[in-house]
Amino acid sequence: MEGFFQCYLSLYRPLISKLNELLSDHGLSYSLWQVIFYLNNNGPSTLVEIANYYNVEKPTITRRVHRLEEMQIIKPIPSEDRREKIIQLTDLGKEIYRTCRIKITDLENHVMEGITKEEQLAAYHIFPKLQENIRKDNERE
C-alpha cells in the first residue's frame, strides 16, 4: 500500500504535539512521559530495560531520568549491582501518572471518534507486527 508510512507520519507529529501540550501542565513532554508510563506498567526497572523497550540509546534515557529525578517524579532504589541503576515512580510520580492518564485517555477517545471498535482493534494488532518487521529488518543489516 503505497503511501502508508507517509500517512502514518502525518498523524504522528500532530499527535505528539497534542500530547506535549496536554503534558506541559505538569512540566512534562512525551519523551518524559514514556519513562513514567513504562515504570507505571512495569514497576521498578533499570535504564537499560527502558532504553531497550523504546529502542533508544541509554544516554537518551539517562537524560530523561535525570530530569524526572529533579522533578521528584522518580527515584533510584538500592541495587546489589552498583553499575546498574534501578528506578521507580515516587508517590508524586504515581499521582501525575493518574492525572495525565485521564487526559490522554480523553484524547485517545476523541481521536478515535467515528472509528469502529473493529477498526481500532485491527490497528492495535497491526502496529506490533510492523514493529517486529522493522526489528527483523534491522537485525539483517
State pLDDT tens for residues 6-16.
888 898 889 99
Instruction: Find out whether 98 and 20 touch, Cβ atoms under 8 Å.
Output: no
Hunting for cell 532504589 — which residue is that? Answer: 77
Q: For residues 107-122, give the mean pLDDT.
A: 93
Q: How confident is the model at residue 81 (pLDDT cuts 50, 70, 90)?
A: confident
- Give the pLDDT of residue 134: 83
Q: Residue 63: is its pLDDT beyond 80?
A: yes
Of 61-70, 108-117, 127-136, the poorest mean pLDDT is in 127-136
Instruction: Find out whether 40 and 89 touch, Cβ atoms under 8 Å.
Output: yes
138: its cell numbers: 534491522
- In single-letter form, the type of residue at position 44 comes to P
Hunting for cell 553499575 — which residue is that? Answer: 83
- In single-letter form, the type of residue at position 112 comes to M
45: nearest Cα among 55, 35, 54: 35
Hunting for cell 522518580 — which residue is that? Answer: 74
Q: How confident is the model at residue 90 (pLDDT cuts 50, 70, 90)?
A: very high
pTM, whole model, 2 decimals?
Answer: 0.86
